[in-house]
Copies of this chain bind each other. A is one copy, B any other.
Amino acid sequence: MPDFFGNLLRMLRGPRGSDVSFLCHKLLSERGEASQTAVAQEVINAYQGMPPDKRLEFYQMLCREFAPEQPAILRAAADYQRAPGPATLSALTSAVEPPRQELFRRINTAVHGTETLVAMRGDLLALIEKHPELTALDSDLRHLFRSWFNRGFLRLERVSWQTSARLLEKLIRYESVHEIHGWPDLRRRLEADRRCFAFFHPALGEEPVIFVEVALTKGLAGELEPLLDVRAPVLPSDQADTAIFYSINNCLPGLRGVPFGNFLIKQVVTDLATEFPKLSAYATLSPLPRFARALLDQENTHGFTRDRLQRLLADFHKELISAAGRKDSVDALFHLLKDPVRHRQVLIEPLRRLATAYLTQARCGGRRCDSVAAFHLSNGARLERVNPFGNLRPYGLKDSFGVTVNYRYLFDDLEENHERFVRQDEIQVSRGLSRELHAVAKAWHTPGDKPAGQKKG
């Protein structure tokens, strides 16, 4: 039950501007309605001036004092049970809606309201693991954001060297997949054979919510280095036949769980197809963010290596050790990677097989371990190619064991691929990978396994 007497006391005691709880109650009260934007501004100022350690109290206060009232819900539920109908349903709907939602909507009437609420959720998410009681608060914010950050309100804009330095600087800050090393690096990523697009929301001004970096290439690029090389020659745009989405970045942690990426990719594909009619393939060049952790996790504490995968892994470790003549397999791997020719030949097949098995089989707690794969496959993309030495930069080795993956977007297949993936957990793969998968399956002697689908192309 919300703290009714506390509230009453607070109201009776009269205004105390600096008390954020008081301000929130005022904003929802009748008095506040007349000067909504002004009071909302005060709440925003109070929040922005709040030391980080006070924020937890603030969230807890919101959970406590602005939750739906249990007695009212019980009453409304009973009424509905007695006589289900529009009137009782409407009453029940009102009873379950947390007053917080209206509070947030009112905060949003002030300048920088949206920005503050997004920052608030960002801060909240950092605390939520330790404070699961804040989950309801988070749900309310996410519910609002899914409505406010609806694709219909997002504006796709190209980001180029013509863009303001202020915005470009944000890209440098927000790029977390392939770090941008200063302005010359950024500049190369905005040359004639590159494209960068971002979604903006009208209430967030010049702050991007998500952006994607695209390289126009000749053929499907599996290796990252040529794309990121600052001194790489610029490909004349009439020679490009493929668009490679090599980096997708969400900018605002507070918008986690609000879906943009899907729309961004599809919109950008549409725009590129118009600008470059010669493009015939659209694919990502993606990492396997937790692949290395999985391979190194011989105790399987993360729970994502299934029996057969583990067997494959054990074989791989043995091969590594024998090939490198070292005792420890990780040590062996890094040793082998250093040799650009012979040792690579030793590694290439086992690594591809392992990564393919991981992408198609590994599960953690019921979900696919690889969230990047889950994202693209759920968008309807297909698994196109696995590149064993696609990213040899330190972070690429550390996270993905150097492997990269291409997911390909074939527009005519998206709907069906998506549905098969979501409903039947069936993954579409290219013909090339299909053979690989059969090899994997055969190696395991596990004919009962559901094979991945395979389609033209």
Residues of A within 8 A of B (CB): 30-37, 68, 70, 73-74, 77-78, 80-81, 84, 86, 89-90, 92-93, 96-97, 105, 108-110, 113-114, 135-136, 139, 144, 146-148, 150-153, 155, 161-166, 168-169, 182-183, 187, 202-203, 262-263, 266-267, 379-380, 414-419, 422-423
The chain B residue sitting closest to A77, CB to CB, is B77
Q: In the complex the two chains form, is B34's CB within 8 Å of A418's CB?
A: yes
| Distance of A15 from chain B, by nearest CB (Å) | 10
Q: In the complex the two chains form, is B153's CB within 8 Å of A153's CB?
A: yes
* Given contact pairs A151-B37, A183-B183, A417-B34, A135 touches B266 in the complex (Cβ within 8 A): no
Can you give 28 A-B contacts (C-beta < 8 A)? A30-B419, A31-B415, A31-B419, A33-B422, A34-B414, A34-B415, A36-B151, A37-B267, A73-B92, A74-B84, A77-B81, A86-B136, A90-B139, A92-B92, A93-B96, A96-B96, A105-B146, A105-B150, A108-B152, A109-B150, A109-B263, A110-B152, A147-B147, A148-B150, A155-B202, A161-B166, A163-B164, A182-B182
Chain A interface mostly: helix
Q: In the complex the two chains form, is B77's CB within 8 Å of A92's CB?
A: yes
Q: Which residues on B sit within 8 Å (CB–CB) of A148?
A: 147-148, 150, 153
Copies of this chain per assembly:
4
Q: In whole angstroms, how far apart are the Cα atoms of A253 and B182 in the complex?
A: 30
Q: Which residues on B sit within 8 Å (CB–CB) of A164?
A: 161-165
Contact of A90 among B136, B144, B187, B423 (CB under 8 A): B136
Q: Which residues on B sit within 8 Å (CB–CB) of A152?
A: 108-110, 113-114, 203
| Distance of A453 from chain B, by nearest CB (Å) | 15
Q: Which residues on B sit within 8 Å (CB–CB) of A113?
A: 152
| Distance of A124 from chain B, by nearest CB (Å) | 16
* Given contact pairs A77-B81, A108-B152, A144-B147, A135 touches B86 in the complex (Cβ within 8 A): yes
Q: Which residues on B sit within 8 Å (CB–CB) of A419?
A: 30-31, 34
Q: In the complex the two chains form, is A165's CB within 8 Å of B161's CB?
A: yes
Q: In whole angstroms, how far apart are the Cα atoms of A97 and B37 in the complex?
A: 29
The chain B residue sitting closest to A136, CB to CB, is B86
Q: In whole angstroms, how far apart are the Cα atoms of A144 and B146 in the complex?
A: 11
Q: Which 7 A-B pairs have the closest CB atoms?
A: A34-B418, A202-B202, A77-B77, A109-B151, A108-B152, A34-B380, A183-B183
Q: In the complex the two chains form, is B161's CB within 8 Å of A30's CB?
A: no
Q: In the complex the two chains form, is B89's CB within 8 Å of A68's CB?
A: yes
Q: Which residues on B sit within 8 Å (CB–CB) of A161?
A: 164-166, 169
Q: In the complex the two chains form, is A73's CB within 8 Å of B80's CB?
A: yes
Q: In whole angstroms, how far apart are the Cα atoms of A164 and B31 in the complex?
A: 40
Q: In whole angstroms, how far apart are the Cα atoms of A276 and B90 in the complex?
A: 47
Q: In the complex the two chains form, is A33's CB within 8 Å of B139's CB?
A: no
